[in-house]
Chains A and B, each alone.
Chain A
Amino acid sequence: MSHLDDEIHMLAETVDRYVADRAGGRASGGDAWTELADLGWLLLPYPEAAGGLGLGAAGVSAVMQGHGRGLLPTPYLPFIVMAGGALARCPRAADALAAVMAGERRVAAGFAVGRPAAITAEPDGAGWRLGGTQPHVLAVDEADAVLVAARPGAEGGTGLFLVGLDLPGVTVETYPLPDGRRAGRVILNGVALPAADRLDDGDAAALLGDVETATLLAAAAENLGAMQVLYEETLAYAKLRKQFGRPIGSFQSLQFRLVDMWIKLDEVRSLVASAAAAGDGPEAAQLAVAAWIQSLWSGRSIGEEAIQLHGAIGMTEEHAAGRYVKRILVNELLFGAPERHFARYRSTMQG
């Protein structure tokens, strides 16, 4: 085992413990984000040169699987993988990244996977003036700033701007998502920014593409954690629940369906594991996109089967199945259905 494998293994154990503590109601009661900072999770994906732990996609995957298993509400994906991931790829964002890693700044992600920038930036003296509405910004109500992708005036391309949510002209309207997480519309109405708050190096399109790939893998890992629970709960229920005088898991037709759930789960696990281990290699992007697509195919099927095999109890708010199904579904709505990523997948195979 390599040194990195050791570290990931230890991290996975810590994540398991953290999730188990949360599930058992033994959480500290303190601020969850501070807990994540204390655990070192806020800096684990970033390069050691930037002050991070250098665990990359493998580290993110372990933390995100825990988010899926425990349905953790902490905005690790938007703050650390998306916004932080973009900051880590911007040469002029070292200070902002340091503040994110320390847990001092909470930066939401003002860009969507697979969608062109919704914000426009016009040159204004030495600085910029931003306008437009960015929909569905995850956990923006927990953030103090948002990193927005914007189309800068006539020059084309995409710029990245760090916008404090307390600036004049910034309005945030928040709402609950169908799975209980929160998001918001960030409305920018002529928000004035100094030139220094544009963080990219001329065009952020390529780095945002990399961030999107990392986001898809992280979301796939979260889906994996969620569907692992759905599968385990359904298997346990099939062994326990009796109808017609025997456990329903003894019926062959249900056995076949449970085996199919197990296979679909393993398909996602295999792709997520390989994508996480691929680092920056040539196959990494291809595997990450494939992991995301497979996580939706498997997730839909496992989720629907989990509810069906539980029967009416699986339809209830009290039962966990629905909450896991909703987490996977909302991830799909946020980051895009399989068909929307086919072209991206094909593009990873060229060159």
Chain B
Amino acid sequence: MTMIFSDADKAFAADVRDYLAANLPEELARKVRYNQRLTRDDYTGWQDVLAARNWYAVGWPAEAGGPGLTQTQRYLFERAYGALPCPHPCQFGIAMAGPVIFTFGNEEQKERFLPGIRENRDFWCQGYSEPGAGSDLAALKTTAVREGDHYRVNGQKIWTTWANWADWMFCLVKTDLQVKPQRGISFLLIDMRSPGITVRPIRTIDGDHEFNEVFLNDVMVPVENRIGEEGQGWTYAKFLLEFERFSMSGAARSRRVLSEIRADAEALGRTGDARLAERLTGLEIELLALEHMELRLLARSVGGENPGPEASKLKIRGTEIAQALSRLRVDLHAEDCLVHSDAFLDALEPSSNPAAGGAVATYLNQRKLTIWGGSNEVQRMILAKQILELG
């Protein structure tokens, strides 16, 4: 299965590649290459570079102020982007809040929120998971009780990535406790500076801080911050699961990581290591299968078909391959990975082998890939039920 890209599409891909390469700061590229910790400024500074070409909200249609790329261009963008050591852009505004707002919000809401997201002025986080509701969002407990023109919100969110940096949180809340759980959920936009919000950091096993708990204690949210109908939040959340399906595989990024590991192996004089060569080749073939699954799905989409939940297969294989690569990097650098300090992500200890510095932390951090974004178990459940029709 080969895609033949038009000359216009090829020119677009070249434009993306050239612009990103010319504007990616060397220091930032080095941080990404060596798996160092990025700051909020690293992300927002880079997102400004993207926003300058309207490529931050790269998946948005023209009506929403986005670049209105075709699906093929969207794919080519991801491929060019992943090939360079660019930071993975923060997704919660552009890939989640934005699409729900431009699909289900009213005109006033679109005018109020979309420019801030598109132009990278507002930092967003996602208030979905709760202590008792991870994979099972129907078990949400955070309540929003209508009081005049406000909702009074009480509850707790957890695993809220970058709540500590966020200006806004889009949030699933229960507005009706009487009906079936799926019917009583609403979608609220909450200003993170509202009184009654407390953010508590959760440190992860790699020593990083990106997850948080968010406590909502009598937080008053104006009714005009509700997107769509009361009680329809479940529908909007499900809609998001199928949006942006082409960024799910991470194939381009994995291909870059694979070539980095190859370069590291060469620098370490390990090109003659047959076992290592076998593993690299094996992973490359797995990656090739992923890329061609993705291309085939793209061809069907371009042909007007909606592959729907089938994109879950890309999430499953993409995250498994990314994890295997992070493991291979640890195996390659072996005892060099031992020189590790709490500060190593911010400032690498002088070492003859900088690629080893972040290898263990990355391996540990990447465990999240098969857990978040709908765990791989949930993705398999979706495929079993909806594609294989196993009840």
Contact = CB atoms under 8 A, between A and B. Distances in A.
Do A and B come from the same complex? yes
A315 interface: yes
B129 interface: yes
A316 interface: yes
Given A311-B371, A312-B371, A322 B205 contact: yes
B296 interface: no
B340 A312 contact: no
Interface in B349-379: 349, 360-361, 363-364, 367-368, 370-372, 375-377
A266 B169 CA distance: 46
B34 interface: no
A183 interface: yes
Contacts of B129: 312
A2 interface: no
B124 to A, nearest CB: 19
A326 B364 contact: yes
A126 B223 CA distance: 90
A329 B342 CA distance: 17
B135 A322 contact: no
A317 B207 contact: yes
A317 B134 contact: no
B367 A307 contact: yes
Interface string A175-214: 1111000010000000000000000000000000000000
Nearest to B337: A333
B159 interface: yes
A226 to B, nearest CB: 14
B335 A334 contact: yes
Contacts of B334: 333, 336-337
Given A316-B205, A329-B360, A176 B340 contact: yes
Given A243-B136, A315-B204, A317-B205, A177 B338 contact: yes
B136 to A, nearest CB: 4
A312 B372 contact: yes
A242 B135 CA distance: 10
A339 interface: yes
Nearest to B335: A333
A88 to B, nearest CB: 26
B213 to A, nearest CB: 10
A289 B266 CA distance: 30
A260 to B, nearest CB: 15
Interface residues of A, number: 37
A250 interface: no
B370 A175 contact: no
B193 interface: no
A312 B338 contact: no
Contact of A183 (B338, B361, B364, B367): B338
B203 A318 contact: yes
A339 B211 CA distance: 36
B275 interface: yes
Interface in A123-176: 135-136, 175-176
Interface string A302-334: 001001100110111110011101100110011
Contacts of A321: 205
Nearest to B139: A243
B341 interface: yes
A175 B357 CA distance: 13
B337 A178 contact: yes
Contact of B205 (A112, A311, A326): A326
B339 interface: yes
A6 to B, nearest CB: 40
Interface string A21-49: 00000000000000000000000000000
Contact of A316 (B204, B338, B376): B204
Contacts of B339: 175
A316 B327 CA distance: 19
B349 A316 contact: no
B20 interface: no
A243 B207 contact: no
A191 B360 CA distance: 35
Contacts of B138: 244
Nearest to B205: A322
A253 interface: yes
Nearest to A315: B204
Contact of A304 (B136, B367, B368): B367
Given A315-B368, A322-B204, A339-B275, 5 more contacts: A178-B338, A315-B205, A315-B371, A316-B211, A329-B363
Across the A-B interface, give the 3 residue pairs with the lowest CB-CB distance, nearest first: A322-B205, A317-B203, A243-B136
